[in-house]
Each structure stands twice: as C-alpha cells, then as structure tokens.
Amino acid sequence: MALYDAMFSQYGANVAQVLVTEPDFYNTEFRFNMKCTVLELLGLNIIPIINANDTIAPLDINKELTEAQVARDLKLKPGDSIITVKDNDSLAAHVAVECGADVLIMMSSVDGIFNLPPEEDDARLLHTYCPGAVGDIVYGEKSELGLGGMNAKVKAASWALDRGVSVIICNGMQENAILKIIQGKRVGTFFTNHKSRSTPVDVMAVNARKGSRILQSLTPEQRSDAINRIAELLQSRKEEILQANSRDITRAEQENLDSHLVARLALNSTKLNSMSDGLRQIAQSSKKFLGKVLTRTLIAQGIELKQISVPIGVLLVIFDSYPNSLPQMTALAISTGNGLLLKGGIEAAESNKCLVQIIREALSPYNAMDAVSLVNEREDVAELLQLEEYIDLVIPRGSSQLVHSIHQQNCRIPVLSHADGVCHVYVDKEADFTQAVKIIRDSKCDYPAASNSMETLLFHKDLVTQKFFEEVCQTLKNEGVKIYSGPRLFNLLTFGPPLAKSMKIEHGGLACTIEVVDSVQDAIEHINIYGSGHTDVIITEDKEAAQHFIQQVESVWTFKNCSTRFSDGYGFGLGSDIGISSAQIHARGSVGLEGLLTTKWILEGSGNTVSDFTESGSMMYHRYPLTTETENINVMSDTPNDSDSDQPIK
C-alpha cells in the first residue's frame, strides 16, 4: 500500500485500501456495503486498491464453497454460470460486476488473447474476442486458442462480460495502456458479446491478399468483364445508390456541412453515367498491364529469364468524403490484380457502403469479392498505418491536411502521396510578356484552391522596373488576388505589398507572393529550397535558359511557357489515377495502372545448377536479350528449351 500510495501521489491521486475475503461476496449485505464503500471512495476521488484480506483469509486456502451454496447466496437463476473468488482475476470480475463498472481492464504480462499459442509462427493477437462464438473469429482453419495460461483470466473476463461489464485483457507493461484504452485505441483483447458482424481489418487485409491472388489468376478479359459489370451495376442499381447517397446528404445538411462540400458529396444520374463510362474505358484500356513480360533474356541454353509485371499486393486508399472516385480507384486495383482496402470519409459512409457492396457483387462470380473491402468508419487511420504486415502500400487521396496527418504518423508502410503545392512561375527576362500575363493569371486564378495553383511568382530583376511588372500586379489585383512581397522585393519597393511570413507558404486561395531573383540560376535555387517539388514553370523564349531550368529544377512537373494548372492526369491524357505522388521512388506524378504494379523475375530452366557454370562446368552464360512479345503470364510461353540459343534470336 505504501508503494501504491507513493506512485499514485505523483499524479496527485489518493488511494485507499479495501480488503475483502471470499465469503464477503456471497453475503448480500456485505456485498452491498462493499459496493457503497467503493462508490463512496470513487465519489471522493479516491482510488480503491482492492485485495484479499490475507491476514484472516488468503483467497486460495479458503474453505471452498459448493457452487450450489454460492448460487443460493448470489440468488442466481438456474443456468447462470458461477465463478468462485479464487484469485485476483475472479476478485476483479466480482468487484467490477458488483459496482456496475463500465469497463474492467485486466493487466497481465502478455499482450492479450492469441488465435494460437503465442509462441507459434502464425500466432496473432485477437483484438476482439467473443467468448460465445469462438468459431467466428478464429483465423484460418486452426481453432485452438492461444490462452497462454490465461484460462483463469478468460473465465473471469467472460463471466464479467455476461454481467454487462466490458473487459479488456492487455499487457500492463505497455506504455499508457489505460489512457489509450480510454481513448478508444486498440490495446490488448477486447471482450465482446457482439458476434463480430464486421470483419476485423487485419482479416480484411488477409482476405484482400487472397482476393488479389484470385484476380491474378483470371484472364485480362475476365478482369475487364468484372469492371464492366460494375459499370453496368452503377446504372442498373442507380436508385439504390442514390438512396444511400441521399441519406449522406441529409445527414450532411443536418450537420450544417458547407454547401460546396454537400454539392461534391451528392451523386446523380449524370455523375453515375460518367462514372460508368470511366470504368468501361479502364476495362478497355487496362488489359495489357498485369502479367506483361517486360524483359526476356536467354541466360544460357535452356534457361530463360523473364521480368513480368505483378500487383503490389494489398493497397490501402484513404480518401476524402467524395464517393465519385471510389469505383474508379477500385477498377484500377482490379485490373492490376491488387487487393484494396478503402477507408472513406464519414460524410460519405452510406454511399461508400452501397458502392462497395455493388462492387463486391460484381466480383463474386469470380470468387474475388474479398479483393475489395470498405474499412469500417470506426477504424482509426492511425491503427491502419501500423498494419505493415498486411498492407503493402498506403495511398492517401484528399486534402493536404489528410496527407500531412499520415506523414506525421509513424507509418512503416510505404506511402505514395503529395502534400504541399508551393508552385512557382518564374518570368525570365526573355519572356514573352503577353504569354506571361496569360499564364500567370491562369496559374493563380483558374482554381486557386488546387494544389497546382501558383503560390509564388518570381521575376527576373531586370523586369521589376518595367511597365510589364506593374501590368502583372494590376492583372492579379483585378482578379482579387492579395499580393505579398518576398524579402528582396520588399526592400526594393518603397510602398510595396506586405512582407510574406515565409517563402514556403501555400496560400491555398486568391493570394500569392512575388519575389525578385537575379538570374535563372537564382530562380532554380529559390525553387529547390522553398518549393514543394510539385509544379514549377519558366516563362522564357531563351531555349538555353529553359533547358537549364527544366534540368535543374527537381519538381515532379517542370514546365515551360504554360500554366501550372496543366499538371494533372486528365490534362496529360494519362487516364484515371488512384492518386498523385511526389515521392522520390516508384511512380511519380499521377499514379495510374503502371504505378500499381511491381515486377518479379521468373527463371525457367531445365534442371540447371549454378555449379554447371563453374570453370570446370559444362555450361556457359550467353545472356542474349530476347524480344518481349505482348505476351501475358496467363498464356505462358512453351518451355524455354524451344528457344535454342543456336538458332537465331527472335
């Protein structure tokens, strides 16, 4: 007690010792008194530390009462299960039930309940455990639970659960475990009588991987058919979808969501038709991506190496509230054979649920419905990002706040995203002024909230004293653009615009910063330091300056003599995308079909060993490159022996 007292006093909390013996629980009056004492202590903000009164009656050597006696004392109905107070676990359960606790947290030295004995290879912590429905939550084919010597805890926990107390068994050594539980985070194993109506997300991910394998085993035509089937259902099940959508709209209006956002949330016939058209286009154009032979090499006689495109695996797409993009993202995943977990915004919950239901229906004839799942709204993004064993790639699609929040979290899964758009237009001294005014106005004013709208306008120093400079500023002012100065411009002008707080600011609206640079080299350095690597433009008629700029600016989109606003997949004609990436590796820019694929290496031999190739061996490496017909892995070539190295190479 002295230790408890010392520890709790560090948090300004007072404690009180409560000692009980087993028979106390079987006496109605004693039980009532104990409950009152505990509740009174809690009312006084005193934390009761309850233990067995070992002085007079240590729990385990106490006279054992028969179940019948206990049942009579506790006034149990026939059929109610009984646990006797034998240890701290059953004591805790009894106290929690008696006092009507909301939650009982049982801390032990293990992390919770596992699906298998914890030391086995495949053992996995169960985040929820439904004592009455073991069959439902057990993973795979094995059914033995990994209680790890926790039978007593599980029995006590189940008993308390049956009496209306939520129970969590977790590891007491985990930092801030109690706080995290109170915050609703997934810690340990949560006992519930709610028979797992929704699949846990890790199971969804495992199923998505299985779905991905099924999609891969289909022919490209079958994958296209599935996408076309979704396109059909979007039209034939229009009413169902629009009804679900109207429930979202109603809620959004009740919650006074911005009308602009409500408009984007709303679906209608036209939108559904255009979504269908988009899907049919993907179905048509996407056939040759997955399973494509990228390189072929005849390594030696009878050994052929192929590099083929394969799915990345399981994708998690976290997207904002607008449901339009859902079918398109799904179609991209299906045609590339990837499993897909979708985590949508709460605002579009009903629409997303309905759309995913329809998509799964379209996939069910191929037994691939699990390839696509909607993660439940209550799943926390932070938790999803910790599932690196199950998810191969995270794609956030939405506001820069969403993307930033993901990057700030400690995510071990690769993330393809772009967040900030601090885009620059540099007006060189050799610029065509008429073009420049047009491009600047379009870059800033076409859609100021877009991430590829211009935030900073750089002028060559020679231009600042020219009439053109004033003309540009006047044009922006006429459009209602609020102008800020960079430090150099601020010092140059006697009555210039106010100083920008930083050169890294993304105004995100009708505002921009103007700064002066000495040369194209100076502009390049400015952009590489203060830019966000998104879209940057040079306006010049000087080919050398343009070449230098385009080569040295490190942004994903580096443009000459056109608006920053061109940097999106649609304008480029790159087709649909699942998101935008400004990452340094893998797909950059608009992430479409190719960005959702990776490669694997296939070697087909005829009994070959590397020792055949040693100095004393019988074989020699040839390494002839072969042509890559547009061959798909579903229609594999004949045995490589057919391509004899003595014959001419195709």
CA–CA separation, 101 and 161 (whole Å): 11
530 sits near its own copies (criterion: CB under 8 A): yes
Site string for its own copies, 252-291 (x = CB under 8 A): ---------------------------------------x
Alpha-helical (H) ranges within 23-105 are 28-43, 67-73, 88-99
The whole-angstrom separation of Cα 118 and Cα 139 is 14
Amino acid letter, residue 588: R
Query: Which region, judged by CB under 8 A, interacts with its own copies, from 66-74, 300-308, 373-381, 418-426?
Result: 300-308
Asked if 248 and 351 count as a contact pair (C-beta separation under 8 A), the reply is yes
Binding its own copies by CB under 8 A: which of 562, 628, 631, 645? 562
CB of 560 vs its own copies, minimal distance in Å:
5
* Range list of H helices, 165-219: 177-182, 201-217
- 8 Å CB contact between 153 and 106: yes
Closest distance of CB 450 from its own copies, Å:
10
310 makes contact with its own copies (CB under 8 A):
yes
Alpha-carbon distance of 116 to 144, in angstroms, equals 6
Q: Is 442 in the site for its own copies (CB under 8 A)?
A: yes
Residues of this chain, 531-560, that bind its own copies according to CB under 8 A: 543, 546-548, 550-552, 554-560
Closest CB 335 distance from its own copies, rounded Å = 16
Contact between 636 and its own copies by CB under 8 A: the answer reads yes
Q: Per the structure block, which two tokens stand in for 520? A: 């194209």
Neighbours of 566 (CB within 10 A): 16
Contact flags string 582-621 toward its own copies, x per CB under 8 A = -xxxx-xx--------xxxxxxxxxxxxxx-x-------x
Of residues 492 and 619, the one with the C-beta less far from its own copies: 619
Report CA dihedral (103, 107, 111, 116) to the nearest 10 degrees.
Answer: -80
Q: Would strands 293-300 and 624-626 be described as parallel, antiparallel, or unpaired? A: antiparallel
- What tokens were used for 170? 């977790």
* Residue among 639, 642, 644, 649 that touches its own copies (CB under 8 A): 639
Task: To the nearest 10°, report the CA torsion of 445, 449, 450, 451.
Answer: 110
Determine, following the binding rule CB under 8 A, whether residue 223 of this chain makes contact with its own copies.
no
Binding segment (CB under 8 A) for its own copies, from list 23-31, 93-101, 245-253, 570-578? 570-578
Residues 86-145 interacting with its own copies (rule: CB under 8 A) = 121-122
How far CA 439 is from CA of 434, 464, 520, 561, 562, in Å, comes to: 9, 18, 18, 8, 6
Residue 523 makes contact with its own copies by CB under 8 A: no
List the one residue from 174, 405, 435, 519 that touches its own copies (CB under 8 A). 435
Question: Which residues, 6 or more positions from 240, have their beta carbon under 8 angstroms from its beta carbon?
Answer: 354, 358
Q: How many Å apart are CA 597 and CA 6, to the nearest integer?
A: 58
Q: Does 74 bind its own copies (CB under 8 A)?
A: no
Using only C-alpha atoms, what is the Rg of the chain?
33
Nearer to its own copies, 102 or 121 (CB): 121
From 17-25, 87-95, 131-139, 210-218, give the range in contact with its own copies by CB under 8 A: 210-218
Q: 381 or 574, CB closer to its own copies?
A: 574
Q: By CB under 8 A, is residue 529 in contact with its own copies?
A: yes
